[in-house]
Amino acid sequence: MPNDILSSALGDSITKLVLVTGTAGAGKSTILGRVSQEQKDLRIINLGTEMLDILKEKFNITDRDKIRTLDDKNTILVRNEIMNRIIASKEDAIIDTHASVKQGRRYRPGFSIDELEKIRIGAIIYVDATSEEILERSLSDTGRQRAYSTLAEIDEWRSVNISIISTFAVYLNIPIYIIYNQHGKQDEATAEVLRIIREIMVPK
């Protein structure tokens, strides 16, 4: 059953889903972690975590960074399984995922228009930071392998991501919100994301 604050004004038949995405290292998951502390009844689905759970069972993959090395066919199959679970739950939720997966010089969208249309995504929140900030955070996070090592690579990836979500927003006729997660201003970014989520989710 949907949480009270996230219940649709039209009843349980209408599910409200918001996609929160960004370039790896921009801090979207960190921001969402802070948002969940403020709004404890908010359901947040981390697509990478959901994929890893399935990959552990099917392919014995336990390293999160190896998700991006999965071939296209199996990636789509795993994502579709997760999307079907989201639909079956009939619960409002925030979906935390990457706009694209960087594989050397190749970029693969983190989701498809068909998938977003299938689960009826209502809005996209893009958490961004400067390329310098992203690189600095990446260098300080020794527990993860990043797909970039230069500012030029990050600039390019950010441009690819904006292009992807802009295309999806136009096709699906949904809004994009861009939030800057600057150093020392996580409180402000968290408050803005929370405000947008409440505005979208809570019935008028």
pLDDT tens digits, the chain, 204 residues: what are they? 334 433 333 234 346 889 999 988 899 999 999 999 998 888 999 988 888 888 888 888 888 777 777 888 888 888 888 888 888 888 889 999 989 988 888 999 988 888 888 888 989 999 999 999 998 888 777 666 677 779 999 999 999 999 999 999 999 999 999 999 999 899 999 999 999 998 888 654
Q: Which residue has the tokens 């925030």?
A: 94
Paired residues of 96 in beta bridges: 20, 46
Q: Which pLDDT belongs to residue 137?
A: 85
Q: Which pLDDT belongs to residue 84?
A: 87
- pTM metric for this prediction: 0.84
Q: Which pLDDT belongs to residue 4?
A: 40
Residue-number span of the structural domain to which 110 is assigned: 4-201
Q: Which pLDDT belongs to residue 90?
A: 83
Q: The domain that contains 141 carries what CATH number?
A: 3.40.50.300
**What DSSP line would sit under 50-105, residue for residue?**
HHHHHHHHHH----GGGGGGS-HHHHHHHHHHHHHHHHHHT--EEEE--SEEEETT
Contact between residue 183 and residue 27 where contact means Cβ atoms under 8 Å apart: no
Name the 3-class secondary structure at 15.
Answer: coil
Tell me how many domains the chain contains: 1
